Amino acid sequence: MKMMVAFSVACILCSLSGAQTNVVDPHWNRSVRVRQLQPEAHAYEMAKTEAERLSLVIKMINDEVISYFDPVEDMECLFGRHIEWVLVGKNGAKTGIVYFREQPPHDTGPNYPSYSGVGWYLSFSVDFQGLVSGYCLSNTHKPLAVLEMDDRGTNWVSGTN
């Protein structure tokens, strides 16, 4: 959680300083992308209901603000503290979930892996290069305990439970 807050601050500082990063194109200015994402990020932060957040995310997908092969930093700038990293692979691949409504209190950690949430959410996978490799909007929940890493350690697959 502290990392998300730190990264959100870094996004803001990056946009103010004009610092450059080499994501795909060495001439790409990261602060330009951050400024492009700020209206959507602000709108999501201001949305109060699950329906408002769902509508905003559908619009972001339709407008290609959220798309495959975007750097994970885009998702972190859009959703910041709302991302819950739930599965992390050995090679750096990971899965994040953004719940569109507040979740009921639940225990977390290795002894409580089966919490699956309630309501609408955006789930997205990030590959070992830090790029979004897939995303899904759903209101169907599957306990996380039935997911496991495949033999190569690159994808999450349904387990035998």
Number of domains in the chain: 1
pLDDT above 90 coverage of the chain, percent: 39
Any alpha helices (H) in 18-154, and if so which ranges?
30-46, 50-62, 72-79
Rg (CA), the chain: 16
CB atoms within 10 A of CB 133: 17
Range of the domain at 40: 2-158
Which residues, 6+ apart, have CB-to-CB distance to 114 below 8 Å?
A: 143, 144, 145
Please tell me the predicted confidence (pLDDT) of residue 161.
42
Six-digit token string for 35:
């400024």
How confident is the prediction for the chain on average, in pLDDT?
A: 74
Please tell me the predicted confidence (pLDDT) of residue 93.
85
Instruction: Please state the φ and ψ torsions of residue 158, each to the nearest 5 degrees.
Output: -65, 135
Q: How many CA atoms lie within 13 A of 118 on its CB side?
A: 6
Render pLDDT for 44-84 as a digit per residue (tens, 0 to 9).
999 999 999 999 999 999 999 999 999 999 999 999 989 98
Please tell me the predicted confidence (pLDDT) of residue 5.
40
**pTM across the whole model:** 0.65
| pLDDT value at 31 more than 70 | yes
The pLDDT of 76-105, averaged and rounded, is 86
How far is the CA of 67 from the CAs of 5, 60, 78, 149, 161, in angstroms? 23, 9, 12, 24, 32
| pLDDT value at 23 more than 50 | no
Please tell me the predicted confidence (pLDDT) of residue 154.
56
* Pairwise pLDDT comparison (160 vs 124), residue with the higher score: 124
How many angstroms from the chain centroid is the CA of residue 61? Answer: 13
Per-position DSSP letters for 21-46, written without gaps between them: --SSSTT--HHHHHHHHHHHHHHHHH
